[in-house]
Amino acid sequence: MSFEAILHLIKNEMGLSPETVGVETVKRIVERRMQAVGEKSVASYCRLVECSADEKQALFNEVSVPETWFFRDHEPFKVLSAYVKKLDLGERPLNVLSIPCSSGEEPYSIAMVLNDAGFNKDQFRIDAVDISTEVIKKARKGVYGNNSFRGKDIVYRKKYFEHHDGKYIISDDIKSTVKFHNSSVLADGFMRGKGPYDVVFCRNLLIYFDYETKCKVLSTLHGLMSKKALLILGHAETGRMPEGLFESLHLPGSFAYHKAGISVSKRSKSASVIASAISFSSSAKKPSKPVVATVAVKKTQAVEAVAPTVKSEAEWIDSIQSLADKGQLKEAITECDSLIEAVPDSAQGYYLKGVVLLAFDADVDATATFKKAVYLDPNNYQSLIHLAVLSEELGELRAAENYRARAERLRKNAQDSVG
Ligand SMILES: C[S@@+](CC[C@H](N)C(=O)[O-])C[C@H]1O[C@@H](n2cnc3c(N)ncnc32)[C@H](O)[C@@H]1O
């Protein structure tokens, strides 16, 4: 076995291509491992890897990039919360898969969200999987340092952790809901018999894979998911998706998917999807400029007969959301038009109208509407993401990349400013 064979092994069993890990990085890791086990030549170390499962595992542990933290990216957890509140599971528990789970921050965050959404610990189960035995060991302990908590939102830390000797110890209740497994997502029969899962988190893994491996993994996950399951990917991983497996839910960030045939065919009826998208935008940015609203009055009516009412942009957004919640999508569009007529520079009005238009499968109109939102507010993240997804669907990959890059820059800037 040669050094090239090590690269092959990493590609075949972990899925990581040499370009993404870096050949020089692997060389350094191999040198470190040779020192650790006292092997003098690369050839003899390679032979050891070939015959020792423990050394192969030690190599994989070193190659793995375990960077993670609680409530990473925030939005996926808001989507999860909205999604599970609307599910009707009958008596059976909610089944969740977190792959890769690294040191446990992601699956434990999921458990906290479910607990906050009213699920007691017998009403859900989470399987959390990672190829590295090191991170699984840490995850099972459930003891974390400051680095696992980033950003300012640490309410959950007070609620679910005990602080002891500078470390944060996760509550036993949360810990007991997560079952950790050591496996590669590429292993034969991955999690066979454990599904079907209602929710799958697969974030910050596919970025390391080439397209072929990404397709293979998504196909495996597809086979493990229930019919209406929710798939959450990482922000940077949604780019090119395999044909026919999943459909974007068109939520801001575009990281949420359903199995193909579920969301698109029901898009026009799926008020919940729109409502969650809108609740995002309204919680993210609620302008409150008061405006005089005579626009609700039909043009054929005598305007002077109706006293103008003062309505803030935020109130309009609330009312659009409430209409979408009730499935009154035509009324929601009318309300968006009213908002736009009263506040012609309302980027948010255009954005919301775009989201509702998507529910009618009116992709061309939605695209034009999102473009107006971006024209009025070049920092309208959600519209940029929708434009990226719509361009991808049209095969306009260069435009899609452009929109996604702009959105990614905004996201990074926002993240940096939160710290
Ligand atoms: C950056 S972490 C992502 C953790 C978490 N999902 C998040 O987004 O914060 C990447 C993890 O992928 C794991 N990993 C790499 N290849 C894998 C494979 N083929 N199967 C399962 N886990 C893998 C690594 O061990 C590492 O812990």
pLDDT of residue 239: 77
CA distance 150 to 69: 7
The answer, yes or no, to whether any atom of ligand 1 lies below 6 A from the CB of 369, is no
Q: What is the pLDDT of residue 262?
A: 59
Nearest Cα to Cα of residue 94 among 120, 129, 128: 120
In this structure, are residues 317 and 256 in contact, taking their beta carbons and an 8 Å threshold?
A: no
Q: Residues 331-349: what's their mean pLDDT?
A: 87
**Residues in contact with 397: Cβ distance below 8 Å, sequence separation at least 6, in sequence order:** 240, 391
Quickly state the pLDDT bin for 310 (edges 50, 70, 90).
low
Distance 133 CA to ligand 1 centre (A): 11
How large is the average pLDDT for residues 135-149? 96
Residue type, 360: F
> Of residues 354 and 306, which shows the higher confidence score?
354
Per-residue tokens: 47: 């032979």
Q: State mean pLDDT over 144-164.
A: 89
CB distance 228 to 197 below 8 Å:
no
Ligand 1 atom nearest the C-alpha of 234 is 8
The pLDDT score that the predictor gives to residue 299 is: 33
Does 103 or 271 have the greater pLDDT score? 103
For residue 185, the ligand 1 atom closest to its alpha carbon is 20
Q: Tens digits of per-residue pLDDT, 29-51?
A: 999 999 999 999 999 999 999 99
Atom of ligand 1 nearest to the CA of 135: 27
> How high is the mean pLDDT of the chain?
84
For ligand 1, pick from 29, 131, 180 the residue to mutate: most ligand atoms within 8 Å of CB. Answer: 131
Whole-Å CA distances, 205 to 20, 199, 225, 242, 266: 11, 17, 18, 16, 30
More confident residue, 289 or 97: 97
pLDDT reading at 305 higher than 50: no
Please give the Cα distance from 231 to 208 (Å, whole number).
18
142 φψ region: left (φ > 0), alpha (ψ -120 to 50), beta (else): left
Q: What is the pLDDT of residue 168?
A: 96
Of 194, 257, 263, residue with least CA distance to 223: 194
For the whole model, what pTM was predicted? 0.68
**DSSP assignment of 8-43:** HHIIIII---HHHH-HHHHHHHHHHHHHHHT--SHH
Ligand 1 binding pocket includes 135 (Cβ within 6 Å): yes
Helix 271-284 to helix 313-325 angle (10° resolution) is 160
Q: Are 7 and 18 in contact (CB under 8 A)?
A: yes
Q: State the closest ligand 1 atom to the C-alpha of 217, by its place in the atom list counted from 1.
A: 19
| 127 Cβ inside 6 Å of ligand 1 | no
Query: Within 13 Å, how many C-alpha atoms sit on residue 176's CB side?
Result: 8
Name the percent of the chain lying above pLDDT 90: 49
Average pLDDT over residues 162-183: 96
Q: Cβ distance 324 to 305 under 8 Å? A: no
**Chain centroid, CA 339 distance in Å:** 30
In this structure, what is the dihedral angle of CA atoms 18, 22, 23, 27, given to the nearest 10 degrees?
Answer: -130
Cα gap 341→358, rounded to integer Å = 21
Arithmetic mean of pLDDT, 171-194: 96
Contact present, 377 and 331 (Cβ < 8 Å): no
Please give the distance, rounded to the nearest whole angstrom, from the Cα atom of residue 132 to the centre of ligand 1: 8
Q: Do the beta carbons of residue 359 and residue 273 sit within 8 Å?
A: yes
For 238-285, how does the pLDDT look when each residue is reduced to its tens digit (9 = 90+)?
A: 778 888 899 988 776 668 999 987 544 344 334 444 444 544 444 333
pLDDT digits 0-9 by tens, 48-83: 999 999 999 999 999 998 999 999 988 899 999 999
The reported pLDDT for the residue numbered 405 is 83
Q: Which residues lie below 8 Å from residue 292, measured CB to CB, with a gap of 6+?
A: 308, 309, 310, 342
> Alpha helices of 231-270 — where are they, by DSSP H?
none
The yes-or-no verdict on residue 309 having pLDDT over 60 is: no
64 touches ligand 1 (CB under 6 Å): yes
| Residue 167: strand pairing partners | 164
Please give the structure tokens belonging to residue 172.
């036993």
* 138 close to ligand 1 (CB < 6 Angstrom): no
Contacts for 124 with CB less than 8 Å, ≥ 6 apart: 93, 94, 95, 96, 111, 114, 177
Lowest mean pLDDT among 22-26, 101-105, 234-238: 234-238
Any ligand 1 atom below 6 A from CB of 203: yes
Atom of ligand 1 nearest to the CA of 105: 9
